[in-house]
Structure 1
């Protein structure tokens, strides 16, 4: 689902908006960022930090999900097995399976955090700001920890510019740098 400007000012549930931004971010990051910034224009000062953290966590979720999908396909179809591993295909190597499993788990945890934060923001819960901040911080942690290590697993051919993984890596890290979490994450 792609969010169009005409939809921005309708009373769509925040979870729907965040899901749309996540979907859009995987293929059109500049468009998703522009929509997120437009959504923040009408937000009250009290809600702006929570909403910004939530929207940017959703965008990071979209970027990470798109990267994971592409990397999984590459790992199962193109990545060669490690010599001496005893496996005919890299996709059968327990080390690769475990590392991808950790990445999948981290992305799914981010999805759950984003969904929870969206529900709390929608209800104007006093816990919304913290939940959105936790989701945003987790999105940055997942992006910085797993992208580089996943590219490493895919092998030397994965760094080819024609595959675009370098662009995904750069988009995720640039998004974290240019749109840092707003507000401070305080202990519960």
Structure 2
């Protein structure tokens, strides 16, 4: 278990103040960590100790029970400083939400208690072998002696397991296709909550993406891993129902992209003010007084502000669904989040590339590592294609058709 003494956060205001303070701290060495691929173990321990990773724990279990929009704002603040660190707890919050929606009381009490004490959850979800990302080859099979259907076995390999190197618990997505009738489990998708040091689990630091280099997104291999029934949660109750589960998960991705866009804009403005030389035809002594450059900075600022505004609106929509699913259709929240995802995707990629356009040749120096903004934006925005967001939005407008229930919108 994580060897930290976690503080307790009790309000949204405290969460934002804590996130802002940590963001300022993490920003100092963010460029160096990214350049040298130095994994942020110390920083993640600081994040755990701050209490921010427990802010979604329901009040009845001793947590702050913050609304999704507030959690997403914490992530956005961290992402503006270091999007690697901001992405690491994404799955942590998503799977705490799964526990809230689909776990038994004993499961919730156990895992929420551990998280309040500083424990971290990471995903072991994606695979490379299927025809699409939705196919699951990792098997969950009954594996006990005759009459002992409380024991199961997991075998499979997972990739892009963000945060797995820092995790105390791995949330492993599995597929049960051949249950014994006496096991009491129906066929379908299950999440197994496994201690990271469970026998048969191997986590490898082999992530070599061009961006998000220090997210610990390596490979997890599971070979003959024994799991008890009380470690399993069926996904259907959360994913295949209008719970806002997918909208909340996507909102956190929006927060990361919006944070990258803001971080890139701030870096560009600072570089122009302090290091750039004006173009000789402008007839000014400071780059910041070049009217064409001022115009471009203004355009980029509007792009970022638009992304942040749609992000905030989406957060409010998800908040309403979580607070009262009967009063706010989950479909409306999903459409709002899809809209925010499109604007944040556009802002993160455009502004991080335009950083060089407005800053000039000096900004391309390798030691500055300013390309990390674009590399991080381009890598993170590959998670799910915005072209399908347009499809779901268009169908909602034309036919009133709700987005599909598959957990990623």
Same fold (TM over 0.5): yes
Q: Look up the match of 1:6.
A: 54
Structure whose alpha-carbon radius of gyration is higher: 2
Q: 2:350 aligns with which of 135, 145, 155?
A: 145
Alpha-carbon distance, 1:180 to partner: 4.2
Mapped partners of 1:30, 1:5: distance in 2: 15
Does 1:26 pair with 2:85? no
Q: Look up the match of 1:39.
A: 93
Mapped partners of 2:281, 2:262: distance in 1: 32
SS in 1 for 2:349: helix
Alpha-carbon distance, 1:76 to partner: 1.0
Choose between structure 1 and 2: higher strand proportion.
2
Alpha-carbon distance, 1:164 to partner: 2.0
**Do the aligned partners of 2:265 and 2:351 also contact (CA within 8 Å) in 1?**
no
Q: Look up the match of 2:310.
A: 113
SS in 2 for 1:165: coil
Gaps of 5+ in 2: 1-18, 23-46, 58-62, 99-237, 322-327, 398-409
Mapped partners of 1:166, 1:30: distance in 2: 14
TM-score by length of 2: 0.44
Greater displacement, 97-106 / 30-39: 30-39
RMSD over aligned CA atoms reads 1.9
SS in 1 for 2:264: helix
**Do the aligned partners of 1:81 and 1:93 also contact (CA within 8 Å) in 2?**
yes
Alpha-carbon distance, 1:106 to partner: 1.0
Q: 1:93 aligns with which of 286, 290, 295?
A: 290
Distance 1:134 1:91, change over 3 A: same
Does 1:129 pair with 2:334? yes
SS in 1 for 2:66: coil
Distance 1:129 1:144, change over 3 A: same
Name the count of aligned residue pairs: 188
Gaps of 5+ in 1: none
Q: Look up the match of 1:174.
A: 379
**Do the aligned partners of 1:25 and 1:63 also contact (CA within 8 Å) in 2?**
yes
Q: Look up the match of 2:268.
A: 71
Mapped partners of 2:352, 2:372: distance in 1: 11
Greater displacement, 93-102 / 175-184: 175-184
Report which structure shows greater RCO (CA 8 Å, sep ≥6): 1
Mapped partners of 2:67, 2:248: distance in 1: 13
**Do the aligned partners of 2:317 and 2:333 also contact (CA within 8 Å) in 1?**
yes
Alpha-carbon distance, 1:179 to partner: 4.8
Cα displacement string for residues 31-87 of structure 1 (whole angstroms, at most 9, x for unaligned residues): 321222122222421423211221111111111111111110111111101022211
